[in-house]
Chains A and B, each alone.
Chain A
Amino acid sequence: MRRYVQTPGSIGEFSELALRQRAEPLDLVYVGYGLLVVAVVVASYMLGAFGWLPDDPQAMNVGLINAAPFTSGHVLGTDFLGRDLQARLILGIQAYFLPGLLAITISVVGGSILGILAGYRGGWFDTIITYFDNLLDSFPRLVLILLVIAAFKADIYYVMVVVGITGMPVIANLIAGKIAFLRQKSFVEAAHALGLPAHTVILKHILWLNCRALLVIQATLGMAEAILVETSLSYLGFGVQEPTPSWGNMVQAGANYFLQGNFWPSTAPALAILATILGFQLLGDGLNNLLEGKRRR
């Protein structure tokens, strides 16, 4: 049997919630999981930054190599030099956290500026950004990064600058599109007519009020990208070098012992990478669905 119930409420008043599409439960799950991952990553970064680690990440113990989880106080076991895996995993976040923030800052700030120029000025700015975008698309990002490493040095911050710059066109395009859409609505013109200064209109009314959701989403996806790049490079040996731990070089170091039956030292960081990137991606997707895709106008 089915029940039909009238929501109590004053008749004739619009309910704002009713005007927005009801949230999809799946999106809420995505966002929930994503926020959990972000919380864990930030908390772990803090632990690593202040040195509050469960064990000394550099202390070797030759007598306890590639130990399984929960052996003599090592919750996640030890690696091939007998170092505590849990402590190294937590410390590994240092390898990508600040560099990742740098990358997304560059792509969000640069992308916004380019997007505003393209959307507002149009003309050849628009053309340049399109060409820039095509150029980057036709060039494998990893090759570009390796090129930079070869030309300068194997510093993760250099790499992240490249990641940030290559992330700019996507954001620029989205913002330019948004501005083109907003310009059909006359509120930009109306705001000018009401005497609001141009920077207020651009920064507050367009960027902050209308594009902030888009920027948060792109920043989240950008962070996932940055983590992926950092771990891949470290895995290949171009990123963070031993003995400083990174999830990438941990997977690489552990892989040598994988076929000897010690799968854990490489699987633990690999799972951490998977869970974290998945978290950031799902957070971005979920937010996109909740904030952007389905909002009614």
Chain B
Amino acid sequence: MDAPLLAIENLRTYFYSRAKRAFIRSVDGVSLEVARGETLGIVGESGSGKSVTALSAAGLVTAGPGVISGRIDLYSNGARRNLLDGLENYARIRERDGRVMEVEKDERGWRKRSETLMAGVRGKEIAMIFQNPRSALNPYSTIGKQLMETIRLHTKLKGESEAKERAIHWLERVRIDSPRLRFDNFPFGMSGGMCQRAMIAMALSAEPSLLIADEPTTGLDVTIQSRIVDLLAQLKAETGITTLLISHDISVIQRLSDRIAVMYGGTVVETGRAAEVLAPEAKVRHPYTTALLASIPSAETIRRKSYLQAIEGEVLDTIEVPRGCRFYGRCNRVTEAIRENCAGSEPPLGEVATGHKVRCWLYPATGKA
């Protein structure tokens, strides 16, 4: 693998449920690497922790216990910096049998430290786009003004007119027609797809090294979705920007990603090259990935008139995480030979082929790891 741009190591981001007096283990030991220039797609159901992983990387998780341990290394300008550096001093964690029992956090100090760490990173090095683009723009300001604001904040273009020129240039690059007219539009005068294009322009105008796209097509019409996906692919080809793409829509992931990480219940259950993980004939595959693939409609399923398969059971409750494999309760490939393992202890993420890792007791490589 090429030099990484972002390396997340053993990240744990917890929230707290007052009602149940228990931690919600949204992200529970995630390790990921995004290489320079590649697109890593994170796929998983709602609640699998994919968005929280991204938000943690952007330093945007401030509520609750939040990020409680791990490393997030950003390699930029030849230097490595840990975006969680020193934050552990602001949270005292008591653990018993590997389970977090109590977190005491100096919220104010934590937030201050985090802001210091993220200064010059958020927006400049790591930019982010969200779902529901219309609500991600300030309704009372024109898109031109909002775009100019990020340009003046993050680039050397401080003057009014040069920032405006650059803003129009970016509106053109995201294929907004008649950008000079659109410049003075308010978000409510534009379609959702148009707003998302404007958001992408805002994110890219700072020329960040990493773009986090958190469900960029969710909440858009289906036809618009595919146009936004096309746009992202084109911009990717033009700028070569490293992207962390998050989506529950596996077809979006398939079209844009070089590598894929499948998340379930706050952990990565499978990771590898997109072609390998999603190859129809793949022999080695996590049962959850198999189930995810079976649940998307394709020309194949329609032609064969076969039914789409919903994944049995419910999404894992990340409050009461079982001792064994997190997918055990819904897995249909448990064999008697491994049942004890599945129920008893969490499988490690084992390498089944070069760069292809699966967290499942089915594969012997896992056992060896």
A interface residues (Cβ-Cβ under 8 A, vs B): 13-14, 16, 19, 184-187, 189-196, 198, 205, 209-210, 296-297
Contacts and interface: CB of A to CB of B under 8 A. Distances in A.
Interface string B31-61: 0000000000000000000000000001010
B344 to A, nearest CB: 40
Interface stretch (B137-145, B253-261, B356-364): B137-145
Contacts of B128: 190, 193-194
A191 B139 CA distance: 12
B287 interface: no
Given A205-B138, A210-B138, A296 B188 contact: yes
29 contacts: A16-B186, A16-B189, A19-B188, A185-B135, A186-B132, A186-B135, A187-B138, A190-B128, A190-B129, A190-B130, A193-B60, A193-B122, A193-B123, A193-B130, A194-B122, A194-B123, A194-B150, A194-B153, A194-B202, A194-B203, A195-B121, A195-B124, A195-B153, A195-B206, A198-B115, A205-B141, A210-B138, A210-B139, A210-B140
Contacts of A195: 121-124, 127, 150, 153-154, 206
A297 B127 contact: no
B149 interface: yes
B245 interface: no
A170 B121 CA distance: 39
A187 B189 contact: no
A196 B136 contact: no
Contacts of A193: 58, 60, 122-123, 127-128, 130
Contacts of B149: 196
Contact of B189 (A14, A186, A191, A198): A14
A19 B150 CA distance: 27
A287 B181 CA distance: 29
B199 interface: yes
Contacts of B154: 195
Q: Which of A189, A194, A198 has the most CB of B within 10 A?
A: A194
A184 B58 CA distance: 19
- A contact patch SS: helix
Given A13-B181, A193-B127, A195-B124, 17 more contacts: A16-B186, A185-B139, A186-B131, A186-B132, A186-B135, A187-B135, A187-B136, A187-B139, A192-B60, A193-B123, A194-B127, A194-B202, A195-B150, A195-B154, A196-B123, A196-B150, A209-B140
Contacts of A196: 123, 149-150, 153
A14 B195 CA distance: 14
Nearest to A15: B189
A184 B135 contact: yes
A209 B136 contact: no
A192 B121 CA distance: 11
Contacts of A194: 122-123, 127-128, 150, 153, 202-203, 206
A297 B132 contact: no
B51 to A, nearest CB: 11
A181 to B, nearest CB: 11
A294 B149 CA distance: 28
Contacts of B153: 194-196
Given A19-B189, A190-B199, A194-B202, A297 B138 contact: no
B295 to A, nearest CB: 27
B176 to A, nearest CB: 13
Given A194-B203, A195-B153, A195-B206, A297 B188 contact: yes
B107 to A, nearest CB: 10
A191 B188 contact: no
Nearest to B190: A14
B158 to A, nearest CB: 15
B130 A186 contact: yes
Contacts of B131: 186
B109 to A, nearest CB: 16
Contacts of B138: 187, 191, 205, 209-210
A193 B124 CA distance: 10
B136 A186 contact: yes
A16 B181 CA distance: 12
A179 to B, nearest CB: 13
Interface in B178-224: 181, 185-186, 188-190, 199, 202-203, 206
A17 to B, nearest CB: 10
B127 A189 contact: no
Contact of A192 (B122, B150, B186, B203): B122
B368 to A, nearest CB: 41
A14 B188 CA distance: 10
Contacts of B139: 185, 187, 210, 297
Contacts of B135: 184-187
A187 B149 CA distance: 14
